[in-house]
Amino acid sequence: MKYTEFGLVNTRAMFADAIARKYAVPAFNFYNMETLNAILSATRATHGPVILAASQSAIKYMGDEMLMGLIRGANIGPDEQIALHLDHGGSVDACIRAIDMGFSSVMIDASKLPFEQNIEITKSVVEYAHAHNVSVEAELGTLSGIEDENTQSNTSSYTNPDDVVKFVTATGIDSLAIAIGTSHGAYKRQSDDEELRFDILQSVAEKLPNFPLVLHGASQIPAHLVQTINKFGGDMPNARGIAPQQLRRATEMNICKINVDSDLRIAMTAAVRASLATNPANFNPREYLGAGTKEMTNVCIDEIKNIMGSDNKLPLIS
């Protein structure tokens, strides 16, 4: 099915606008009705573009037809800018499958392979995707943490700025994910003083002027929500994310897509734990899942306004 039939767009116009007006388009991960509703409510309340990101494991969890049924049920209108993006696609086949399902954007993540192999695989995806007017993200350097339930890495390697021009030119990608010290999951830093490698970002941005760069592993892991989780029976004592001021600084340096998954997980978990603990007699999931959806919506609105700066950008002007 072609993505335009769902009212979706690819990421090109939104990235051009984000680069020109120095903000980042949020890419929030979804995997069920609650996460999708929270992301859409926040986006619609703040009038900006958004990327709905689904990993391969999220697609498997929802099932292809249910996923696309949810997207159809979103009733995306012509005045909206909403992309459906495959997050961390692990193979050329996975990307082709997503495009054929109706995704408008794909990430091919061959970042753990040798440079030349990463180029070859990425090129194959670009060839198929561009023939279908679908945008492509690829990655150079690796992040630690869980990138997908099948891909877990305990090591990270920063992006080498000397590689980026050759990679982008040889592959024809539309955006590039870079590794500057972020990581996936809820345990990103030992202390609040740890800085991202802005020197690497600066150097990449100079070598690729006006080219869309992407930051993965960018959740803030809000301390008040971690406290709620721990207060109501959770066990996440050292959870710590990326400081908001560092994320904002990145958006001024050509980072025009910021990926957030863990913050929604934290918000849902905190609200569900609090709801169940304070209403022990309740056994109606609509109540605690409703509380979770509300908390996730709040987190999305906060990040859209205070981190991404993507609010009030519709219609796009650049």
**Rounded Cα–Cα distance for residues 256 and 204 (Å):** 13
Binding mask 223-242 for ligand 13P (x = CB under 6 A): --------------------
Site for ligand 13P in 77-116 (CB under 6 A): 87-88
- Cβ-count burial 188-218 (b if 16+ within 10 Å, e if not): bbeeeeeebbeebbebbbeebeebbbbbbbb
Known active-site residue 302: no
Answer for which of 17, 19, 30, 88 binds ligand G3H (CB under 6 A) is 88
Q: Which residue's CB is nearer to ligand 13P, number 188 or number 273?
A: 188
Please tell me the count of residues contacting ligand 13P according to CB under 6 A. 14
User: Torsion over CA of 85, 90, 95 and 96, rounded to 10 degrees?
Assistant: -160
- Tell me if 260 contacts ligand 13P by CB under 6 A: yes
Binding status of residue 219 toward ligand 13P by CB under 6 A: yes
CA distance linking residue 225 with residue 25, whole number of Å:
24
Nearest to 180 by CA among 136, 242, 118: 242
Give the range of 147-155, 166-174, 202-210, 278-286 binding ligand G3H by CB under 6 A: 147-155
Give the DSSP H or E segment for 116: helix 115-131
**Cβ–Cβ < 8 Å for 310, 51:** no
Is residue 261 within the footprint of ligand 13P (CB under 6 A)?
Answer: yes
Considering 87, 109, 174, 263, which one is annotated as catalytic? 87
Q: Annotated active-site positions, please?
A: 87
Write out the residues near ligand 13P by the rule CB under 6 A: 29, 87-88, 184-185, 216-219, 259-263
